Amino acid sequence: MMPRLPLALCCALILAGCGGLRESRLNPFNWFGRSRVVEAPVVDTTVAPDGRQLVADVTLMQVDALPGGAIIRAEGRAPTQGYWDAELVLRGGADADPANPVYDFRVFPPKGEAAVSTPQSREVAVALYLSDVQLARIRGITVQGANNARAVNR
């Protein structure tokens, strides 16, 4: 009975010391930091062939680690209510950097007239799953809107 008490106390101290890993780069939940606003590059804001437009402002972007990959979550604010069917679309082309992909935050505009109302009522959310294989070569991720962009780096 006596040897178990010191052993239990040692285990409790070791586990309490593991809290420092929360800030460590060894912890996969810290691979991507907080998003930051980056200067929006000049982008073609024309309507995509399927009719979707870039969301006006990207207000939130974060990368959440999961077993086997990560989820990119983004929220944007549209100019009016009624925007729908949001999607993060990988921007391609000859100048695309596979280590720092840029995703366009695309949404369909409302059909007909739409009210402006409160900012919360104009928010649109979207998510995209990336596997560990896709994340292996990625160093940073950018989500682009019409007026701004948000980015995270490893």
pLDDT tens column, 57-108: 999 999 999 999 999 999 999 999 999 999 999 988 767 888 999 999 999 9
Render pLDDT for 104-134 as a digit per residue (tens, 0 to 9).
Answer: 999 999 988 888 889 899 999 999 999 999 9
On the question of pLDDT at 10 being above 70, the answer is yes
Mean pLDDT for 133-138 is 92
Distance CA 110, CA 83 (A): 5
pLDDT of amino acid 92: 80
Residues contacting residue 38 through CB under 8 Å, at least 6 positions apart: 142, 148, 149, 150, 151
pLDDT of amino acid 35: 64
pLDDT of amino acid 39: 62
Please tell me the least confidently modeled range out of 30-34, 111-115, 145-149: 30-34
17 to 4, 20, 21, 41, 109: CA distances (angstroms): 20, 6, 8, 44, 51
pLDDT of amino acid 133: 93
pLDDT of amino acid 147: 92
Q: Where does the pLDDT of residue 30 fall: very low under 50, low under 70, confident under 90, or very high at 90 and above?
A: low
pLDDT of amino acid 11: 72
- Cα maximum dimension of the chain: 77
- Predicted TM-score of the model (pTM): 0.72
pLDDT of amino acid 142: 93
pLDDT of amino acid 141: 94
